[in-house]
Chain A
Amino acid sequence: MNRFSCYTLVTGASDGFGKALAIECARRGMNLILVALPGPGLHHLANFIKKNFFVEVRFFEADLTIEAECYQLYSNIAKHHLPVNVLVNNAGTGNTQMFTESSPEFITQQIKLNVLASTLLTRLFVPELQRHTPAHILNVGSLCSFFYLPKKQVYGATKSFIYFFSKSLRKELKYDGVSVSVVCPGGMNTNLSVSLMNRKANFLSRISFLNPERVAPIVIDKMLKGKEVIIPGLVNQVSMLLDKLLPAFVKNILTDKLMKRLKPVNIPTVQIHKDSSPMAA
């Protein structure tokens, strides 16, 4: 079975970085299995990719914060006899919020999605990947797993898990023809509210923000070349270098300053009739 009859599974594919990764894979002739929460976006993306590229596209709606749906996804794909040779664990939730201001429910969901779902899907699909070598796992981490940032405590910790997990697993699977890569992107203009926050940030943060469609080709290219850690963007690479060079107290001052300027913004939504004040999106 060759590369062109296998499928690339992308989670969190309906929007943001996942969408950009999926389109980039399609551009390279890779067939796709798109996974995202129920909603019209996934269906429209699948149609769009089929219309623009000569690849097979399947899509499955699943809420990966629910363990049972991860198992269900795996068995659905097995039932359809879809061979998988690339797994992209992209689904994740980010936030910029004080720990005490984040709801316990949100934190639980975030850990379930960012940590549990990625780990579980990897565990379920590894045997499948081992059968279709050369195979790849791409885990989406974050640049913030290298910096200890306020308002990113849990998020950063989940991404540190992904980083550790990827690098360790890579050592186990490298003799089986399964290459594990972890991408640590900085801020990206993914969805509406993140883009708005980025547009309103200061100049220095703004130049570090990349557009997902610019990042995706670099990432897929490096993943296919089997690179271990992928850090897209010059500004991000420089900040990684500074991280190694600067003493801890200087870094603390810098990260504090940066995070104070980065304020989450709410997209005004509708509260119809008498009260017209914007509420949280």
Chain B
Amino acid sequence: MKIFITGATGYLGNLLAMRLANDGNQVHALVRNPQKTKNLDHPNIHLFKGDVNDLDSIENAMDGCEQVFHLAAFARMWAKPADIFYKVNVDGTKNVLQAAMEKNISKLVYTSSTAVFGTSINQPLSEDDPRTIGFNNDYDLSKCMAEKLVQEYAANGLNALIVNPSRVYGPGNESFSNPFTRLLKAVMKGKPVLIPKCPDVIANYTYVEDVIEGHMLAMKFGKAGERYILGGENISYRQFVNVVREAMPVKNVIAIPKFLLKVAGVLQLIRFFVTKKPPVFTPSTIDRYYANTAFSCRKAMEQLHYHVTPFNQAMTNTIHHLKQKNYEPV
């Protein structure tokens, strides 16, 4: 089968493209710079130069395809001007949906994020739960707007659905969306683990292989207009560190209070105005790390037959994988 994919150079997109190619599909990958693309070397993966903001390039690459995976997104905490979030995540998604409609694509899976749900209170959030916090950053808002577009196209007859992965960890290329590999590598080098100073705050962590499988299942079983949380276990920072500690030595854990990060965020903004060096995070984007973000993947489990690898096992796998790649301290 011919399958069109965007975001194939990213963390999830890369693994998904490889999986599809290994399954014997012909993968049409839309990439901005084919010369610079290294990690898509596979006889079944065909690179098409283009951009989600260029409708013609999408239509050209989508020609003859039956299915679409749309993963490309601007996933950062900050950008100036912020318009790029909306240009890529909203306008870009609209282009992909429009092309899919015109090319009579049989099914489309859009990769959103659990960031659109905001934070949880006492119980894990599920797909129908309302967002209880305002939109204080452009990423959440733009992804939410993109979801609305997918739902509108679905209501207008496109067989399109949404998947919402939570915090993804596991082997894969090191992009902005894969902070855990960086964190684990730092621990291997003997650096301390930095965690938010709220050890009991719960978040949801998904093993990358589960998310990739979830995408395949969503393409197979997902219903138009629906969204499916592709998550893992809900665990606290404390439990997270304990599991890492079982798999390898952790020198020390430094808990950072929220106000310190807020100050760091403000300083980064000031530095930006002086030196134009972009901040890694801003005061408003760190709130989510100090609030519960627990999710339930019951819907995906029941309707997509989604499977969650236990955190313990998947994190141990990840660490072994990194060790094999010779990141062990000399």
Interface residues of A (CB under 8 A from B): 15, 19-20, 23, 27, 40-41, 44-45, 47-48, 51-53, 188-190, 192, 195-196, 199-200, 210-214, 267-270, 272-273, 276
Known A-B contacts A51-B123, A52-B121; A192 and B134 likewise in contact (beta carbons under 8 Å): no
Closest CB in chain B relative to A164 CB, distance in Å: 29
CB-defined contacts of B123 to chain A, threshold 8 Å: 51-52
Given A196-B141, A196-B145, A276-B98, the answer on whether A270 and B133 have CB atoms closer than 8 Å is no
Interface membership of chain B positions 135-178, coded 1 if the CB is closer than 8 angstroms to chain A and 0 otherwise: 11010010011001100110011000000000000000000000
B52-94: CB near A (< 8 Å → 1, else 0) gives 0001000000000000000000000000001000100011001
Task: Please determine whether A272 and B145 come into contact, CB atoms closer than 8 angstroms.
Answer: no
Please indicate the chain A residues that have their CB under 8 angstroms from the CB of B128 in the complex. Answer: 40, 44, 47-48
Residues of chain A contacted by B121 (CB below 8 angstroms): 23, 27, 52-53
Contact B134 A270 (CB under 8 A): no
Distance, CA A19 to CA B149, complexed state (A):
23
User: Is B130 among interface residues, defined by CB-CB distance under 8 A?
Assistant: yes
Are A23 and B132 in contact, CB atoms less than 8 angstroms apart? yes
Query: Assuming A19-B132, A188-B134, A196-B141, what are 7 further A-B pairs, CB within 8 angstroms?
Result: A45-B130, A190-B134, A192-B148, A199-B138, A268-B91, A268-B149, A270-B156
B129 touches A269 (CB 8 A): no
The residue that B132 contacts in the complex, of A41, A196, A210, A213, with Cβ under 8 A, is: A213
Residues of A within 8 A of B135 (CB): 189, 192, 195, 199
Q: Return the chain B residue nearest A265 by Cβ.
A: B86
B324 within 8 A of A: no
Q: List 19 A-B contacts (CB under 8 A).
A: A27-B121, A40-B128, A52-B121, A189-B134, A192-B141, A195-B134, A195-B135, A196-B86, A199-B138, A210-B134, A211-B134, A212-B134, A213-B134, A214-B134, A267-B145, A268-B91, A269-B148, A272-B153, A272-B156
Q: Which residues of A contact B326 (CB under 8 A)?
A: none
Residues in B neighbouring A192, C-beta threshold 8 A: 135, 141, 144-145, 148
Lowest 7 A-B CB distances belong to which pairs?
A: A211-B134, A189-B134, A195-B135, A270-B152, A52-B122, A52-B121, A44-B128
Tell whether A211 pairs with B136 under 8 Å between CB atoms, given A199-B82, A199-B141: yes
- How far does the alpha carbon of A210 sit from the alpha carbon of B145 in the complex, in Å? 20
Q: How far is the CA of A214 from the CA of B136 in the complex (A)?
A: 11
Point out the residues of chain A lying under 8 angstroms from B157, CB to CB.
Answer: 272
Which chain B residues border A20 with CB–CB below 8 Å? Answer: 132
The interface residues of chain A lying within 8 Å CB-to-CB of B133 are: 211, 213
B101 sits at the interface (CB 8 A): yes
A75 to B: closest C-beta gap in Å: 28
CB distance from A67 to the nearest CB of B (A): 29
- In this complex, the interface size class of chain B, counting residues with CB under 8 Å from chain A, is 20 to 34
Contact B145 A19 (CB under 8 A): no
Closest to B140 in A: A195
- Closest-CB distance, B83 to chain A (whole angstroms): 8
Bound complex: CA A48 to CA B94 (Å): 31
B 208-223 to A, binary, CB cutoff 8 A, 1 in contact else 0: 0000000000000000
> In the docked arrangement, what's the CA distance between A199 and B135, Å?
9
Query: Across the interface, which residues of B come within 8 angstroms of A15, CB to CB?
Result: 130
A23, A41, A47, A195, most chain B CB atoms within 10 A? A195
Q: With the chains together, A211 CA to B132 CA distance in Å?
A: 10
CB distance from A115 to the nearest CB of B (A): 26
Contact of B153 with A48 in the complex, beta carbons under 8 Å: no
Complex: chain B residue closest to A196, CB-CB: B141
The answer to whether B94 touches A276 (Cβ under 8 A) is yes
Contact B149 A270 (CB under 8 A): yes
Of all chain B residues, the one with the shortest Cβ separation from A43 is B128
Query: Are B149 and A44 in contact (CB-based, < 8 A)?
Result: no
Would B130 and A19 count as touching, CB distance under 8 A?
Answer: yes
Closest CB-CB distance, B70 to chain A, in whole Å? 16
* A41 contacts across to B, CB distance below 8 A: 130
CB distance from B76 to the nearest CB of A (A): 15
Determine the distance from Cα of A44 to Cα of B62 in the docked complex, in whole angstroms.
37
**Minimum C-beta distance from A167 to chain B (A):** 28
Measured CA separation A257–B157 after assembly (Å) = 45
Residues of A within 8 A of B91 (CB): 268
Q: How long is the Cα–Cα vector from A213 to B133 in the complex, in angstroms? A: 6
Minimum CB–CB distance from A204 to chain B (whole Å) comes to 15
**CB atoms of A273 and B130 under 8 A apart:** no
Q: Which residues of A contact B90 (CB under 8 A)?
A: 268
Minimum CB–CB distance for B136 against chain A, Å: 6
Complex formed: what's the CA distance from A23 to B133 in Å?
A: 11
In the assembled complex, the Cα of A44 lies from the Cα of B130 at a distance in Å of: 7
CB distance from B105 to the nearest CB of A (A): 13
Q: How far is the CB of B63 from chain A (nearest CB, A)?
A: 18
A23 to B122, CA, bound (A): 12
Do B130 and A48 touch (CB < 8 A)? yes
CA distance A23 to B86 in the complex (A): 30
Residue of B nearest to A54 (CB): B122
What separation, in Å, do the CA atoms of A270 and B98 have in the docked complex? Answer: 9
Q: Bound complex: CA of A54 vs CA of B269, how far in Å? A: 42
Question: Which residue from chain A places its CB closest to the CB of B144 in the assembled complex?
Answer: A192
